[in-house]
Structure 1
Amino acid sequence: MNIDWAALGQVFGVSLVVTIGLVAVFTLGIVGTSRKPGSATATATAPAAGPTVLARSGAYACFALCAAAVGYGIYLIVA
């Protein structure tokens, strides 16, 4: 049995970078859709401000990118 250590290391490196990148993009999507903390004078009757339209659009783009990456991974496994 002969193991190609260079190829194994390359697969490990690429999968590590892609995993960290995908988690970062998903985290940006979560942050983009989260509520922003209100000021110190915010009360129960005045809820914290929600995300802006630009932040929400960016978050949806991040989620779409994550879904595309997962779909591409499934395609690679099936094909």
Structure 2
Amino acid sequence: MNIDQFTRNAGQPVRRFEYDDRSLLAVDFGPETDASVDLVDDTVIVVLADDQYEFDLPEWADDAHTFMKNGVLTVELEAEA
């Protein structure tokens, strides 16, 4: 599943921010959401209550960092040099 399919299926708004050396994806699950995120190889895994969602990072992403704060999932992707 890619990020577009993930947000469309889960009904979550997503914002993309493009910078010279990186891209940022932010998915808002709402402030009352008890969710967790993990990154395994090139797959982002989000666990939300009894549901688990997985989506693959783009092939061009050289390095990725993920975190969840106040119900917002942030995925920071560093572009290849």
TM-score by length of 2: 0.25
TM-score by length of 1: 0.25
More strand, by proportion: 2
More helix, by proportion: 1
